[in-house]
Amino acid sequence: MTLLTPLNLLLAAGVVVPVLIHLFGRPRPRLQRFSSLMLLREAMQRQRARRRLRDIIALILRCLAIITLAVCIARPIARGGVLSRIGPPAGEVALIVDTSASMGATQDGRTLLDRARVLAASITDVFGPDRLRVAVAGARLRPLPPGGDLLSALPRRPSPERGRLTDCIARLIAEEAGKLATVYVLTDLQESSLPELQAAAPADAPEIVLVDVGALPAANLAITRTELRPPQPVRGAPVTITANVRAWGAPPEKPLPIRLTVDEQPGHSVALSVGGDASARAEFSTALPHAGVGVAQVSLPGDAMAFDDRRTVAALVRERLQVLVVGEPAQTRFIAAALDPWPAEDSRSTIAVDRAAVLRDATEYDALIIASAGPDAVDAGELASAVQAGTGALLFAGPEADAQWLTEELLPAVGMGGIVVGTSVDRDPPARLVELEFGRAPLAEFARPGAGDLQTARFPTVRELSADGAAVLARFDDGRPALLEAALGRGTVLLAATSPGDRWTDLPRRPVFVPLMHRMVYHLAAGRAPTLLGANAGELLVGELPRNANEVRVESKTDVLTHDIRGEAWNVLATSAGVFRVVADGEVAAAGAVNISPAESLVARLDPGEAARRLAPLRVEVVGAMGLAQRLASPLATDLSTLFAFIALLLIAAEAVQSLAGGQRTERADR
């Protein structure tokens, strides 16, 4: 016999009350005068003996009644034996089947979920579908409809979601408060799925039986993260795809072939060496050949946990970027020729360049280039609004730039308030670029051999700049800042201490100028890319819609649910892995990929003691398949509260009858 609420046994301390009454509630002797004391003394001794026996019996009955009531309130239950045949069933039984991604690990040709399905069927056979409440759990708890065939209702494949069994158990207890006696949880005891219980457990919480369906593999390889740079690619332009590979347990015997597939067409393959319990990084340079939704997948050779051996990255590929160059023709001609040398509407063009003397419609462009323009050509407030919205800006502090206007008005408006633009300085010999930040965009591409050498450029005249409040991406060889970067809202601002023409530098006439301008534009346009917060199944993805969008829908070949759309923002609750598109008024506004949570790749398991500790103060029992069979041999828990309540009433009635009979005998003796 066990107790559902053993703390209520503290009420048994009430036995102190009848004991105190017995000790201090004795009747006081009365003085009576008789002619013969001998007969009186004999009668009093007989009466005192009977009263003492009666009082002891009453004390015992009262104490037993209080203890029995305390046990009744503690909700005693019995499993097996004679007691299990007395009284009604002790609450209902619930079953939670872990369907997180790690349940897809295979052992002897069967997945852990297949084992869980077999064990779930055995539990259903014992309790019956009407008495059993069944739910599946990944990131959230999903109840299954009562009755029917359980095996057909349970999924055959795990979901890509991360397991959060602790939260699911707490939610089930909260929703079924006081109704459940036992909750069976079929799981692989993966460490990441069972964090410590944060919610307070109610006094009538059910017993939790964790059923271990089998061990995870001792070692695993997984792709835990993929990244696409730039995040808003252009058709045919080079992009970089990186993949983080993680190894747990025994290291692979030889380098792994990491394969890249672009739009379902086989692409590159690299060999990667990964040690045990370590990480490595693979990098691919490629191009997405078509405008629209571009999909790339990085994959590993399959192992016992094949669900994490591939990872997908998707993006909305633009036909071309829109760039506005503001300045005098002599200052803008080199930039326009570098960004778009092709005739109008040529299919080879990836950047469309508009040239203007005055800044207009700034928010309609992906990037703005201010080529040494002054206050008559650029409105500081309009430029700041465009940068806040995600349109990047490249500012050249060349010969026509107004240093005072830049320092006091324009730079503070775009997030570079600590920078002071000074006078121009002639250098002999000409200055050269040093201390280039090749670890950061937009200069990261030039760290590779053959990408172009920026240090070959010469700068006979440079602009003095302070570096306060901005990151320095490059310096001249005398230590002066050459290229500064700052952020404002979603946009990025770059400030160059030179001219976009050939008056102050020979950089525009060097071959490296073309890829440099392209990399800068791609970097500045990143703020206009659709925003994705999170990319794992079971999590919420958030992005922005085009202005004044009327009809919005989410399209996917997998189960991706639209959670909410309000104004210019959309939320998508992704419940399965795959590629999705957000379509606004018939045009694709955003694209993304949903992948399996890397936490599911972890092969660490909890031992029974640690699993019980993490769910404390709930009463937890951890059993294997054999332990479950023994438990199901006498599964029906009987509520003995009614039995103990009946016994308590009998004790109270017996005490009352005994006290009444004793009082009548005393009254006759007194007469």
3-state secondary structure 310-373: EEEEEEEEECCEEEEEEECHHHHHHHHHHHCCCCCCCCCCCEEEEEECCCCCHHHCCEEEEECC
- The residues pairing with 543 across neighbouring beta strands, listed in sequence order, are 570
Return the pLDDT at 38.
55
Grade residue 118 by pLDDT with cuts at 50, 70 and 90: very high
- The encoded tokens of residue 245 equal 């590979």
Return the pLDDT at 163.
92
Q: Write the single-letter amino acid at 89.
A: P
Residue 82 has pLDDT above 60, yes or no: no
For the chain, report the end-to-end CA distance as a whole number of angstroms: 52
Residue 365 has pLDDT above 90, yes or no: yes
Residue 536 has pLDDT above 90, yes or no: no
- According to DSSP, residue 407 is labeled I
Grade residue 35 by pLDDT with cuts at 50, 70 and 90: low
Which of these, 245, 241, 215, 222, lies nearest to 230 by C-alpha position? 241
Cα angle, residue 436 at apex, residues 434 and 437 outer, rounded to 5°? 160
Helix, strand, or coil here: 622? strand
Task: For residue 161, give every residue at least 6 positions away whose Cβ sits within 8 Å of its Cβ, in sequence order, or none.
Answer: 99, 100, 101, 138, 139, 140, 536, 537, 538, 575, 597
Express each pLDDT in 597-651 by its tens digit: 899 999 999 999 999 999 999 989 999 988 898 888 765 556 667 777 778 788 7
Express each pLDDT in 255-306 by its tens digit: 889 999 998 887 778 888 887 788 899 989 888 888 888 999 999 988 899 9
Is there a contact between 494 and 477 (Cβ–Cβ < 8 Å)?
Answer: no
The C-alpha atoms of residue 431 and residue 7 are separated, in whole angstroms, by 81
Place of tokens 């300085």: 425
Task: For residue 348, give every residue at least 6 positions away whose Cβ sits within 8 Å of its Cβ, in sequence order, or none.
Answer: 236, 342
Give the whole-number percent of the chain exceeding pLDDT 90: 39
Cα angle, residue 208 at apex, residues 204 and 212 outer, rounded to 5°? 180
Instruction: Establish whether the linkage from the previous residue to 230 is cis, with ω within 30° of 0.
Output: yes
The C-alpha atoms of residue 522 and residue 56 are separated, in whole angstroms, by 95
Grade residue 463 by pLDDT with cuts at 50, 70 and 90: very high
CA separation (Å) from 67 to 23, 63, 74, 641? 19, 6, 11, 13
- According to DSSP, residue 552 is labeled E
Least confident of 272-281, 568-577, 658-667: 658-667
Helix, strand, or coil here: 399? coil
Q: Determine the average pLDDT of the residues in 494-523.
A: 93
Strands 552-556 and 578-584: antiparallel
The C-alpha atoms of residue 462 and residue 457 are separated, in whole angstroms, by 13
- The residues pairing with 492 across neighbouring beta strands, listed in sequence order, are 487
Is there a contact between 361 and 322 (Cβ–Cβ < 8 Å)?
Answer: no
- According to DSSP, residue 304 is labeled T
- The encoded tokens of residue 473 equal 């991406």
How far, rounded to the nearest angstrom, does the alpha carbon of residue 140 sit from its chain's CA centroid? 11
**The three-state (H, E, C) secondary structure of 474-542, written as one string:** EEECCCCEEEEEEEECCEEEEEECCCCCCCCCCHHHCCCHHHHHHHHHHHHHHHHCCCCCCCECCCEEE
Return the pLDDT at 453.
92
The C-alpha atoms of residue 154 and residue 152 are separated, in whole angstroms, by 6
**H/E stretch holding 403:** helix 403-405
Rg (CA), the chain: 39
